[in-house]
Amino acid sequence: MQRLVLVVDDEQDVLDVLTSLLESFGYSAMGVTRGAKALEILKKRKFDLVITDLIMPEMGGLDFVKKMRRMEKKTPVIITAGVDINESKIDLRKYGVNDFIQKPFIIGDIGRKVEKCLKNKPLAHYKNS
């Protein structure tokens, strides 16, 4: 069974690139453009990994992760952003974020960081939606 990754990004082009890239790495990827929609999906289905953009309208990535963590304590999370997270002084670990990917993406970084997050993690048990 393939690992399932939920990708949340308000930019459809970025969402398309990430989901296609993940599928080329052998994962099953689902993409949504809004954090609220992603939370609805997470209520019905379990994922092996969530990748979310930091800066999005309506609900930013950190707000999304905070709300997600109330439902899903153990699912690994990777944040993506076009800003340098080190310069922003945001401690992503306190939000339960496992890793960070800087935009523009370096394809090899995505593969390595996804693999690292999923290493030794059992497959999620999926609920039918």
Residue 30: CATH number of its domain:
3.40.50.2300
Q: Which residues of 5-20 are buried (b: 16+ CB within 10 A; e: fewer)?
A: bbbbbbeeebbebbbe
Per-residue pLDDT of 5-16, as tens digits, reads 999 999 999 999
Whether pLDDT at 124 is above 90: no
Tokens describing residue 121: 């993690």
The domain tally of the chain equals 1
Q: Is residue 65 part of a domain?
A: yes
Q: What residues make up the domain containing 107?
A: 4-87+94-118
The single-letter code of the amino acid at 88 is S
Instruction: Determine, yes or no, domain membership for 80.
Output: yes
Examine residue 16 and state whether it is found in any structural domain, yes or no. yes
Residue 124 lies in a domain: no
* 106 within some domain: yes
Residue 49 lies in a domain: yes
Q: Is residue 125 part of a domain?
A: no
Tens-digit pLDDT profile for residues 73-122:
889 999 999 887 766 667 888 888 999 999 999 999 999 999 999 997 78
Helix (H) or strand (E) holding 42: helix 35-44
Percentage of the chain exceeding pLDDT 90: 73
Summary mean pLDDT of the chain: 90
Which residues are CB-contacts of 27 (< 8 A; sequence separation ≥ 6)?
Answer: 2, 3, 4, 5, 48, 49, 114
